[in-house]
Amino acid sequence: MFKQLLILGVLITSLFGQVRELTDENFEKATRRGLVVVEFWATWNEVNKVVILDEWDNFDAKVYRLKICSYPQIQADNEVVILPTIIIYDDGVEVNRLQGDMSFSLEVTTKQLDKIIDEILMSKF
């Protein structure tokens, strides 16, 4: 019984509260499925990864990361030139973009992210 509960806990943790990685195989499909937040990042800039996304529990948007060093064509197609960059897509269409500054860092709060998501959702009505 304990083993089953442990497996269930791991499964729930992996479904909620964890930022998933995107690849060239799943990027288009993932970004076309409702409200989606994608952080574009690079291993050489990992120190500036937007870690609040790992703690952000917003059930209105799915949250992903894309490692641009592995998928430069997706980076180019989305015109990502500053890291980190967060792009918010709504059914595959970019509706908002947050970009780092010249120090390659991006300071944003979960409150600011919640406000952006709320504004996007409200604009649909």
Residues 55-103: pLDDT tens digits?
Answer: 898 888 999 999 999 999 999 999 999 999 999 999 999 999 999 887 7
Q: What is the DSSP letter of 84?
A: S
The whole-number pLDDT of residue 27 equals 98
Average pLDDT, whole number, for the chain? 86
The whole-number pLDDT of residue 124 equals 85
The whole-number pLDDT of residue 96 equals 97
CA-to-CA distance for 92 and 12, rounded, in angstroms?
26
pLDDT at 12 > cutoff 50? no
pLDDT at 120 > cutoff 50? yes
CA-to-CA distance for 19 and 5, rounded, in angstroms?
23
The whole-number pLDDT of residue 40 equals 97
The whole-number pLDDT of residue 104 equals 74
CA-to-CA distance for 7 and 2, rounded, in angstroms?
9
Place of tokens 């209105």: 60
pLDDT at 112 > cutoff 50? yes
Task: Confirm if 61 and 117 have CB atoms less than 8 A apart.
Answer: yes
The whole-number pLDDT of residue 7 equals 39
